[in-house]
Amino acid sequence: MTDNKKNWMIYGATGYSGQLIVEQAIQSGLRPLVAGRSEDKVIALAQKYDLEYRVFSIDMLVNSDALISQMSVVLNCAGPFSQTAEIMMQACLKQQVHYIDITGEIDVFERAASLDQAAKQRGVVLCPGVGFDVIPTDCVATKLKAMMPDASYLALGFDSRSGFSPGTAKTSVEALPNGGKVRKDGKIITVPLAAKTRKIDFGGGEKLAMTIPWGDVSTAYHSTQIPNIEVYIPSSPGMVKQLKRMNWFKFMLKMGFVQRLLKKRIEKKVKGPDEATRAKLKTFVWGEVKNAAGEVKDYRIQVANGYEITAVGSVMVAQALLGEHAQVSGYQTPSMLLGDDLVEKLPGSQVL
């Protein structure tokens, strides 16, 4: 990697998660450069913390990747990442800058993994998912692999009451027409929404749970090489029925005007949880492995709310890439990069 200054950029810094990460960075004694497309918002944020800033839209990087020059690390917080990650990753490869983001989108993880060799040749890390998506579940997956090296099946899940930020809600709307995702025999396959249900004790008591197309369907495979992977969250019977009915109308959810309508509604109604609400919320993370002999092992950990995990976790990964892990390269998951004990180092984590 080039001998840049120890500068790093938070792109999408004015969004809900972006602002939390900027606050966490300042508390950690770091001085990131903040960037985004809204000049007024970026300047206001930069002035609040006396930080350097750059104003540009993601598509400007196609013609001028010099916009991220002199950076050692770029943390992309601008979702939906289906629209920003590819352009930013390519710019980071050209400029020899480590790339991290807070996505949970399977396609972004798979694209980053496909660029592993290119990243190694350029001497940079591509590590999407350095927030709640997917630090806790990724670390649990790796711990379970160590507990059962011959595991052939992995189930992961989390019971979180953190609520959605506007960006997360929009990403979820984009994902609905694509159906559910699981990994079977090493391949990611499409299944119906809420394809499978089961009762799971995530750590706070047994609950009905359903499969979701969470990022670990991609990342946990790269971290563990376990060929069959499913991810679950708690759900009411009513929500399961609603999603199953939605399978019949997925074609409508693909329509541009429907997507725009839903996203506009989100902009008007969805606000991220405030600090007091976040402080009260905890998340239970669970995992289970099985081998061909039918043996089963599970693991549970309680962590802070998802937004706290995202703020602290992403800053910890950025610090590592600015310091002792600066010479690492290639595609990485959080546990591959910093070990499966990363989740235990986060404030509020407690093994159950």
pLDDT one digit per residue (tens) for the chain, 352 residues: 434 457 999 999 999 999 999 999 999 999 999 999 999 999 999 999 999 999 999 999 999 988 998 999 999 999 889 899 999 999 999 999 999 999 999 999 999 999 999 999 999 999 999 999 899 999 999 999 999 999 999 999 999 865 555 555 555 666 667 789 999 999 999 999 889 999 999 998 999 999 989 999 999 999 999 999 999 989 889 888 888 887 777 666 667 776 677 667 766 665 666 666 666 678 999 999 999 999 999 999 999 998 999 999 999 999 999 999 999 999 999 999 999 999 999 989 999 8
Give the pLDDT of residue 242.
83
Q: How many CA atoms lie within 13 A of 43 on its CB side?
A: 3
3-state secondary structure of 234: strand
User: How much is the pTM?
Assistant: 0.90
Place of tokens 């009915």: 245
For the chain, count helices (H), then strands (E).
14, 16
Task: Walk me through the domains of the chain, giving residue ranges and CATH numbers.
Answer: 8-132+308-338 (3.40.50.720), 135-305 (3.30.360.10)
Structure tokens at 71: 């950076």
DSSP β-bridge partners for residue 35? 11, 54
What does the pLDDT look like over 273-303, one tens digit per residue? 666 666 667 899 999 999 999 999 999 999 9
Per-residue three-class SS string for 266-327: HHHHCCCCCHHHHHHCEEEEEEEEEECCCCEEEEEEEEECHHHHHHHHHHHHHHHHHCCCCC
